[in-house]
């Protein structure tokens, strides 16, 4: 199971735009493009204390954006006490007119390029060079 997860992590940077990987004490969460256009996304979660820890779901961009937003708003904010949900909501409002694939790309890019707007210590990986942070946890 953990080898399958590590393979997904390694493959997550093969598309034309980057995924997002989040790590907590209880689980790992990733959202990566399933196609080159960003119309479909693969959500990967690995929950440490479960009998079947690896869950993989592919969804359309609209649902994927909603799940990513919820993960940030509720999941990350639970673990990261200084996570600024208001800034997240304000950014989401600023991109509401974009297409669903563009919303996901914009949200990932925003957190990647402006992490200090959201927290002093985000438990996230946005580049291939830091994937060992994720893989070492399984």
pLDDT in tens, 46-75: 999 999 999 999 999 999 999 999 999 999
Q: What is residue 1's predicted lDDT score, i.e. its pLDDT?
A: 64
Grade residue 16 by pLDDT with cuts at 50, 70 and 90: confident
Over residues 94-98, the mean pLDDT reads 97
Over residues 83-100, the mean pLDDT reads 98
pTM above 0.75, yes or no: yes
The per-residue DSSP string of 46-65 comes to EETTSSS-EEEEEEEHHHHH
- What's the mean per-residue pLDDT of the chain? 95
């Amino acid at each position: 199971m953990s080898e399958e997860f590590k393979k997904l992590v390694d493959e997550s940077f093969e598309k034309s735009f980057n995924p997002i990987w989040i790590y907590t004490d209880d689980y790992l969460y990733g959202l990566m493009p399933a196609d080159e256009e960003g119309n479909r996304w693969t959500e990967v979660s690995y929950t440490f204390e479960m009998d079947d820890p690896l869950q993989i779901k592919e969804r359309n961009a609209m649902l994927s954006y909603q799940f990513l937003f919820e993960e940030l708003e509720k999941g990350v904010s639970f673990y990261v006490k200084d996570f600024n949900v208001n800034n997240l909501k304000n950014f989401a409002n600023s991109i509401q007119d974009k297409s669903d694939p563009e919303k996901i790309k914009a949200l990932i890019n925003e957190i990647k390029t402006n992490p200090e707007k959201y927290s002093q210590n985000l438990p996230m990986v946005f580049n291939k060079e830091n994937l060992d942070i994720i893989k070492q946890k399984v």
